[in-house]
């Protein structure tokens, strides 16, 4: 269906005069008349009755006119939506955010994205990065910010590493371990339960290695939880040790409610220099939408400033 010829039909229905309608279409009267004739030929319908002094819509023309106007209006809306999308000012963006990223530079990125793209529908899924990776594979999100664990090379994904965050081991003020400080042997940490945002068997083995503990040792009573408020409450009101990234509990440390045990570990332990990385992960060889491209640019900018 030729939208331009439908537009000519609407113009002629409004003017009921070939010369005036042609002028509005910026065409010669001959070219305009040919356009109407071509439309009638394609539709196999007579849309206008032409007289020597008047032009009138036929019954068929009147029935199709409403649909023609609606089709042209929807085409205009489609064009406007495409323009908003191209400028990253509208459309829809579905992203996944890991817990570390959600509580670091993403707190700055999302408000900027809302300010710059007020018409954008933004859907943010916050979860463990392994769960988000499945959503990415299913193309339910365009990209994810996460992946603090070991990432294996996979040709399906394009991965951009972001600046790391230091880790820490927290305990409550008044914890029995603090009576042993200022220098703690890492083996003492095995006497207490552990919690983390993600603490499975693989990451538990990694933590043991970082504390220079034997691989056959076991962290007791592991608690894995993707709710940071619940993790905070657990460490504040029990003898549980919390292994997490440094920073999000800074106010509790300053107020004396929590203590960073990492600073009391035996000198030279790898855990004192251990860092967690976040990554930008997207499907390889796929074109991101303009809103996703703008979001990624903001994330890289904020991550760079954080690293600086």
Residues with Cβ within 8 Å of residue 144, at least 6 apart in sequence = 95, 96, 97, 98, 129, 132, 133, 135, 136, 280, 281, 282
Phi, psi angles (nearest 5°) of residue 225: -150, 135
3-state helix, strand, coil in the chain (%, to 5): 50, 20, 35
Phi, psi angles (nearest 5°) of residue 177: -65, -25
Q: Which of 180, 196, 179, 169 is nearest to 259 (CA)?
A: 169
- Residue 10 and residue 4 in contact, taking contact as beta carbons nearer than 8 Å: no
| pLDDT computed for residue 143 by the predictor | 94
- Digit-coded pLDDT (tens) for 184-219: 888 888 899 999 887 766 677 777 887 888 878 887
pLDDT < 70 stretches in the chain: 80-82, 84-90, 148-151, 200-202, 268, 270-273, 305-308
| pLDDT computed for residue 200 by the predictor | 67
């Amino acid at each position: 269906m030729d939208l331009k010829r439908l537009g000519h039909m609407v113009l002629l229905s409004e003017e009921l005069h070939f010369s005036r309608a042609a002028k509005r279409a910026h065409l010669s009267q001959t070219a305009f008349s040919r356009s109407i004739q071509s439309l009638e030929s394609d539709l196999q319908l007579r849309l206008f009755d032409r007289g020597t002094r008047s032009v009138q819509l036929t019954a068929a023309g009147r029935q199709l006119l409403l649909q023609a106007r609606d089709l042209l209006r929807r085409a205009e809306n489609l064009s406007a939506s495409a323009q908003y999308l191209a400028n990253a000012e509208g459309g829809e963006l579905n992203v996944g955010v890991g817990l570390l990223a959600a509580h670091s530079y993403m707190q700055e990125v999302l408000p900027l994205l809302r300010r710059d793209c007020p018409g954008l529908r933004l859907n943010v899924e916050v979860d463990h990065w392994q769960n988000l990776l499945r959503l990415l594979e299913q193309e339910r999100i365009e990209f994810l910010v996460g992946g603090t664990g070991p990432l294996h090379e996979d040709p399906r994904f394009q991965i951009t590493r972001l600046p790391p965050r230091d880790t820490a081991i927290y305990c409550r003020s008044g914890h029995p371990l603090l009576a042993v400080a200022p220098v703690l042997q890492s083996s003492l940490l095995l006497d207490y339960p552990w919690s983390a945002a993600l603490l499975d068997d693989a990451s538990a083995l990694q933590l043991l290695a970082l504390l220079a503990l034997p691989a056959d040792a076991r962290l007791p009573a592991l608690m894995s939880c993707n709710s940071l408020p619940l993790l905070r409450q657990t460490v504040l009101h029990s003898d549980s040790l919390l292994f997490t990234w440094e920073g999000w509990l800074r106010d509790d440390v300053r107020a004396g409610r929590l203590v960073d045990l990492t600073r009391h570990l035996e000198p030279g332990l790898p855990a004192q220099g251990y860092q967690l990385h976040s990554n930008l992960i997207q499907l390889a060889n796929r074109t991101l939408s303009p809103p996703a491209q703008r979001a990624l640019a903001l994330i890289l900018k904020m991550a760079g400033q954080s690293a600086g």
